[in-house]
Chain A
Amino acid sequence: MSADEHELEHELPHESLSPITMAAGIGLLGFGLLTSLVFSVVGLAVMAWALASWIGEMLHE
């Protein structure tokens, strides 16, 4: 690997709320298993939204 390759292959991504949103979705999914499945359904929806947002950010880089 050359010096240029080392640096150029790895650009810093923008700040993003997708990861915390995805984590919140995973947390809600689990929390719903303990309390009410409504939370799990909301968690799945939040995960889907976060995934779409995440993919969108990657495509625009």
Chain B
Amino acid sequence: MATVAQPIPPPAEASERYEGLLSWLATTDHKRIGILYIGSGVVFLAVAGFEALLMRIQLTLPRLEFLSPTAYNALFTMHGTTMVFLVGMPILFGFINYVVPLQIGARDMAFPRLNALSFWTFLFGALILHFSFLMNAVPDMGWYAYAPLNVRPYTNHPGVDFWIVSLLVTAVGSIATAVNVVVTVAKLRAPGMTAFRLPIFTWMGVATSAIALYALPPLAAAQVMLLFDRQLGTHFYNERMGADPLLWQHLFWFFGHPEVYILILPAFGMISEIVPVFAGKRIFGYPFVVGSGIFIAFYSMLVWAHHMFTAGMGFIPEAFFGATTMVIAIPTGVKILNWLATIWGGRIRFEIPMLYALALLVMFPIGGVTGVHFATVPIDWQTTDTYYVVAHFHYVLVPGTIFASLGGLYYWFPKMSGRMLDRRLGLWQFWLTIIGVNLTFFPMHVVGLMGMPRRVYTYPDLPWWGAVNVLVSLGALITAVGVLLLVLNIAYSLRRGRIAGDNPWDAWTLEWATASPPPPQNFTAPLPPVLSDRPLWDLAHPVPDRREEAERPGEGAMAAAAEQAGFVNRTPATLLGMYAFIASEGFFFGGLLTAFLYYRARDGGGFGPHDLDVLQTAIFSVALFASSLTIVLAERRLHHGDLGGFRTWWLATIALGVVFIGGQLFEYATLYGEGVRLSTNLFSSAFFTLTGFHGLHVVIGLIALGIVAWLTSRGEFRDGRHAGAVQAVAWYWHFVDMVWVVVFTVVYVLGVLL
């Protein structure tokens, strides 16, 4: 790896086609997109906060009638959904968008247009959700939308449908962002920035993206099946047709619990940036802070069912998920101990970002410890659906996600705007927030242990319940004043704030090596050499052999292994992005396959696997399998510069794909003629949904193949141009084939054999 300062070419010309508002609508600049995410998140925070205040007014005293039960249900559903999907995720993805390319010394994200698409799909999804207010069809079944409450006839109004579609649309953006972040960090790091020299916030951005890639698609699959139940008459969650409502809970919480870590890991990344800078010390135990984050990212897919202990899963699953849940507290504890060790003996500067980091260190463990309580099954049985749960997850998400985001905002606002946020207003806001949040959520532990149920619009006048709830509502009001002060501070400081300069905090990572705010191309001066995880500190404290000093145990071996493999370096960004997308798609089909297998074992008679024509399907499956071979031959021809051969084999691939789709349509038509419908029984619902979605993917693949064929006819792929795009389409096609290998085996072959 080069370790010398690198030259920066002049900025790309003619990037400013639009002015004013249009320039924001058309922007592909990661910094502007990051600001759009954060700004939107703050607007939705105000909306969700207002909803919370309405709920708190209702709950201030026993038996109040300020809100109807229906309105209360709608408010807690919208508050939860908004806070998770439209506040937490966009604010954190906004910071990742803004900061990560700067931290790794890149000029933008790997796919800037895709980045813009991600933001706008998020925003349109959010608008669809809120359009439900105008349609008088606000979702009111809780943000978890448990079955069978989520299906007809239990919820007949279209609120659930708005909830499903809006979240599906936002999921497109979230998955695209996750792909983008992974490829950006893999491909666009500055020379010298090895794995162990990446800033921890960047590491946590990658870990979060990995979670988004595996956790969001199963939710999308679950939601698609729910939408089909509601709109097309399938039976995935309809217990009257033999469905098991627990299927929804499994799929939802397979997403839902990792989602907590989507909201927490970037927050941990922010704290890992702030604490060392304001303690004046290098982060203690960098490999452990990073390693524990990566461990959490993947291990979090093993803990989902602790949300279901009262569902009656049985002793063994409860013991298993209780144990796995307790274990996940360990890596979180590792981070807390590392931050404490970093602070220990440091020269602490009590600037506002550090105040929020310290507040997190004190308050987040309260939520963490009560989380371990819920891993103990009998305690979970006693406290589930009480305000003790509400207190727990608010202590995780408010001191965790919100405090870290506030710390991050005070930390990076000078970089984003060129001005400092006002310290005096910031201090007022900090203390109001600390007092307000603790007054709101700590008493909930008490009233929860007294037995006050959550999700109920009022409560009886039992001893102390009213008094405790008055405190909680007062705390919510104080917190709201704190939020107003933050908005005031931002508005004031954008105009009158002190000029920040490039590096107002004497921080060490590369975002502080450029102007505040950074120019469109991010860096105008040569990047400093990256010899450790704090290049600006190294620059200010040169020693004769910095490389040796900076190297950590294992780093040399890891770098050598990476160099030997060279996989990331050799793989075009487009192809790397396709790999990440394919992984995500795999989890989507995993969700559909889970549903199929779940109900395959519950064969209730009628249309079933033995009614499928395996031989006929095998014949058109051969066409699809053969298409993987023809596309490889096409790629080989292209590699040898034989455009004619490439086009021939590519068109053969398209023809084989069309044969497959024709065969599938013929199969559907035959079954339709025999009276089999989506709504016939559980098996037909699962069969048509699984095979139909595969067919849809084949059609999308055919469109992509067709576009490549058309571009070939225009001579676009001469001399290796856009070779990465061709490879990406080919890999997508291989993936579609691989999915069919699994589907054909599970649905048809095993259907006959078993």
Interface residues of A (CB under 8 A from B): 1-4, 6-20, 22-24, 26-27, 30-31, 33-34, 54-55, 57, 59
Q: Check B569 for interface membership: any CB of A closer than 8 A.
A: yes
Whether the Cβ atoms of B2 and A2 lie closer than 8 Å is: yes
Q: Considering only CB atoms and an 8 Å cut-off, how many residues of chain B contact the other chain?
A: 62
Q: Is the CB of B131 within 8 A of A31?
A: yes
Shortest CB–CB separation between residue A10 and chain B, in angstroms? 6
Residues of B within 8 A of A26 (CB): 121, 124, 169, 172
In the bound complex, residues from chain B placing their C-beta under 8 Å from that of A27 are 121, 124-125, 127-128, 169
A18 touches B15 (CB 8 A): no
Residue of A nearest to B184 (CB): A10
A3 shortest CB reach to chain B, Å: 3
Stretch touching chain A among B18-26, B67-75, B304-312, B322-330: B18-26
Contact B107 A7 (CB under 8 A): yes
Closest to B123 in A: A23
Q: For A11, what are the chain B residues with a Cβ–Cβ distance below 8 Å?
A: 12
Give me 10 A-to-B residue pairs in the complex whose CB atoms sit less than 8 angstroms apart, sorted by A's number: A6-B188, A12-B107, A12-B520, A12-B521, A19-B116, A20-B116, A27-B125, A27-B169, A33-B165, A34-B161
The contact of A3 among B113, B191, B227, by CB within 8 Å, is B191
Chain A residues whose CB sits within 8 angstroms of the CB of B108 once the complex forms: 10, 12
Q: Give the nearest-CB partner of B165 in chain A.
A: A30
Residues of A within 8 A of B120 (CB): 19-20, 22-24
Contacting pair A13 B716 (CB below 8 A) = no
Closest to A22 in B: B117
CB-based contact B114/A19 at 8 Å: yes
**Residues from chain B with Cβ under 8 Å of A13 in the complex:** 15, 28, 112-113
List of 4 A-B pairs having minimum Cβ-Cβ separation, nearest first: A27-B124, A23-B120, A3-B6, A19-B116
**B131 contacts across to A, CB distance below 8 A:** 31
Enumerate chain B residues within 8 angstroms of A7, measured Cβ to Cβ: 6-9, 107
What residues of chain B lie closer than 8 Å to A17, measured between beta carbons?
A: 25-26
Q: Are A3 and B520 in contact (CB under 8 A)?
A: no
Give how many A-B residue pairs fall within 8 Å (CB-CB): 123
B27 at the binding interface (Cβ < 8 Å): yes
Bound complex: CA A57 to CA B111 (Å): 13
A13 to B168, CA, bound (A): 28
- Distance between Cα atoms of A18 and B17 in the complex (Å): 13
Chain A minimum-CB-distance residue to B114: A19
A13 to B16, CA, bound (A): 10
Given contacts A15-B27, A17-B25, contact A30 B166 (CB under 8 A): yes
Whether A30 contacts B128 by the Cβ 8 Å rule is yes
Query: What CA separation (Å) do A20 and B26 show in the bound complex?
Result: 7
A19 touches B191 (CB 8 A): no
Contact A12:B11 (CB < 8 A) given known A7-B6, A19-B28: yes
Which B462-488 residues have a C-beta within 8 angstroms of A? none
B503 to chain A, nearest CB (A): 22
| Residues of the A chain whose Cβ atoms lie less than 8 Å from the Cβ of B124 | 23-24, 26-27
Given A1-B569, A10-B188, A16:B6 Cβ within 8 A: no
Digit string of B2-44 for contact with A (CB within 8 Å is 1, else 0)?
A: 1010111101101111100001011111000000000000000
